[in-house]
Structure 1
């Protein structure tokens, strides 16, 4: 039966994924997007991975959330089961796209990638940016854009995307350098012109963990406001000691998003645009779910993020940190509502 076959496929996927983290990355790197692909043959492994990303879930009540935060072994085991959903470079039919990727193995999944409007239909490279639309709470289309930290040759593309997509907020969760370059400085001190977009810095507000810049963007005879948040206290290859600054950042971003005239996606980036970026987006969605449903399903949220952009939430420690942040948020929520 179909049900029996699906169980067999999921069993096969579980077996495949029980290797080390290194083999997990190698095994999963060939997987395509979750949307139907225009190929004649889908291997059982690919089918099982898609099934997992579409169907896996484990809603947690308040008590279960607190319990699972204390059971890190269980969380890490659950995380290791989730297909990475990285794509094969051959799936991106764009000549020389490698010149615009910060990391050669971190590529935008084709079905959800952001396409820049280009003067020439034939110039595929000018329409390419390493960025994906990410669904939000309840599958809200294009709630976020997850992207890599801009490079010297992609800064103009980045601002073109911010303008084209009418983004109200940019969230940057990386230093410019951590051992090596993670992101170039892509905004001006006062005023800068990036391709067709002019960026003006109106004001700067320094907090303990992040800096907020109020920006004006101009293109042609149009003007828009945009808030830029630069979160600098997330350590490289680790997770923060406290989740409080992340929750505060999230609250500020949500306030700005709601009050902004621009209705586009919130742009989130770190260096590769999958690890810390994934944590921020997953925590935001999880908090919304807790607020409205009283439960949270981090497994399902992570699967959905990876369906849109491979590798979102990069490590077991980051997966653990998202649960920790949500547990803290839930405790505050319960205190406020007196439950």
Structure 2
């Protein structure tokens, strides 16, 4: 049974995929932007998102029109410039080909093509040819040739470029850029339609081994659709359509439309339109996460993996379950969160033990326990990449939870800082815990560090797998290295002492790449044990424990492709 939320039960900002009528899509590759009240101070670098000073406010209608005309004029001038460049290049190339056909050498043909262009320009613009009599001689030579059709074709191309430029200039004066942008989606009635935008997946699927044998019949680069979903119109009195006030960017985290959490300075705030009590819509979202399921057999999995539109729709229907920041209204807490709206869900958050348990800050870390396969409690801990302020808390958690393995799926910097370097080159002490590096092994797609931890006379071993081949907000180019890492971590976990605790997994925010890795690990076990997978159910369970797990539609597709590849591998092994 597959459970779905109808569009009539969703609010206008639900699950991040819909844009407001006056809102432009924010692409993943766009420069950082922040939301919130511009009058509020920012903690970011000077010059970024600062409130406007005197005289720097938004321009009035007249100033706006002048700015638009300046932009149009600049665009037209640049367009004419490039038109002239392309026209000149096309003519020289055509004349050069003409003289080559006529039996001239490479350099001789090029020189004569310049002379011929010089002659035409002299006629059109009424000036003496630069090459003087030579240009006239070349023209006399041209009139005697049998290949005059090459010149006619060349001149036709030049005229076509000029006509195109004239038409384009007129269109820009009348309509602006809208008439010429293939990426612009025109919406006739903003009040009745909402837009969904998704980026092209970055991963390829055909490589499983170094051999040329192809183990699956899937497209190498599946196309991610761009589609619109309409709103059901019902009366406000219908209890099934009750929705809360839009909650800003917090509800849109994890979509392919934007990943603006990376643009937020720690500690900045944005408005939210509801209190601590769950609205009918939030209750419906919780119910979906508890009951949503879609079990897939191997054949269904392979078919589903290439059905991009169905995967996008399923991803967008699944609530993100982010936490309202008002639930964590504690002074000084902003210093312990990398991103202002990525917060741990209260019921499953890791609580650090301390002498003063009523001191909330000393017990807080942005991390959640996650269930594993078969409902295994506290199988994983998903957490943010440690910041400079939380390195000590991170090591306290490692020791307290008796964690044998850390899986790190981020680089230290990706355009901006994604994670602090919380481990030493040799040895260091944090919160009384002595951390010493024993060995460092470099593999193709990850590095393995083995540490010894000492505290209060007790010594433990810890392994850190640092996977660096996964770009931020995207997916790996190849699936096999991820599956190899999943296998390696599972084997290391099986060899860990029986008293060992959860596996810690983190990226930067601890929801996107982290969610993909944990989901893949759980689903590989399910596929081996049961012969089926329920990716939707696993995603729902992960989001119940930590909001936003598997953050983008592209990542959701990638998990399906990885599992499809893994099933092909299992079938291949069985056949052998």
- What TM-score comes out, normalization by structure 1 length? 0.91
Q: 1:53 to 1:127 in 2, by over 3 A?
A: same
Deviation at 1:295, TM superposition (A): 0.5
Deviation at 1:41, TM superposition (A): 5.3
Deviation at 1:199, TM superposition (A): 0.7
- Among 215, 226, 251, which residue is 2:462 paired with? 226
1:249 partnered with 2:245: no
- Among 203, 206, 209, which residue is 2:445 paired with? 209
CA contact (8 A) 1:274 1:313 kept: yes
Deviation at 1:235, TM superposition (A): 1.2
- Among 5, 9, 12, which residue is 1:13 paired with? 9
1:282 partnered with 2:519: yes
* Deviation larger for 80-89 or 328-337: 328-337
1:259 partnered with 2:256: no
Tell me which residue corresponds to 2:379: 143
Report the count of equivalent residues.
326
CA distance in 2, matches of 1:20, 1:87: 18
Tell me which residue corresponds to 2:285: 49
CA contact (8 A) 2:15 2:319 kept: no
Give unpaired runs (5+ residues) of structure 2. Answer: 21-195, 197-245, 253-274
Deviation at 1:28, TM superposition (A): 9.0
Deviation at 1:224, TM superposition (A): 0.5
Tell me which residue corresponds to 1:172: 408
Q: 1:211 to 1:65 in 2, by over 3 A?
A: same
Tell me which residue corresponds to 2:560: 323
1:268 partnered with 2:497: no
Tell me which residue corresponds to 1:235: 471
Give unpaired runs (5+ residues) of structure 1. Answer: 1-6, 32-38
CA distance in 2, matches of 1:40, 1:183: 31
- Among 517, 529, 540, which residue is 1:303 paired with? 540
Report the 3-state secondary structure (helix = DSSP H, G, I; strand = E; otherwise coil) of the residue aligned with 1:236: coil
Report the 3-state secondary structure (helix = DSSP H, G, I; strand = E; otherwise coil) of the residue aligned with 2:569: helix
RMSD: 2.3
- What TM-score comes out, normalization by structure 2 length? 0.54
Q: 1:293 to 1:193 in 2, by over 3 A?
A: same
Tell me which residue corresponds to 1:116: 352
CA contact (8 A) 1:30 1:88 kept: no
CA distance in 2, matches of 1:248, 1:21: 36
Deviation at 1:122, TM superposition (A): 2.8
Tell me which residue corresponds to 2:550: 313
Tell me which residue corresponds to 2:65: none
- Offset from partner CA, 1:220-270 (integer Å, 9 cap, x none): 100111110000011122111111111011101001111011420000000
- Among 372, 378, 390, which residue is 1:154 paired with? 390
Deviation at 1:13, TM superposition (A): 3.2
- Offset from partner CA, 1:36-61 (integer Å, 9 cap, x none): xxx99542101100110000110111
CA distance in 2, matches of 1:237, 1:8: 26
Q: 1:242 to 1:221 in 2, by over 3 A?
A: same
* Deviation larger for 195-204 or 141-150: 195-204
TM alignment of 1:21-170, pairs within 5 A: 21=18, 26=247, 29=250, 42-92=278-328, 94-170=330-406
Q: 1:194 to 1:336 in 2, by over 3 A?
A: same
Deviation at 1:196, TM superposition (A): 1.6
Deviation at 1:26, TM superposition (A): 4.2
Report the 3-state secondary structure (helix = DSSP H, G, I; strand = E; otherwise coil) of the residue aligned with 1:68: helix
CA distance in 1, matches of 2:374, 2:318: 20
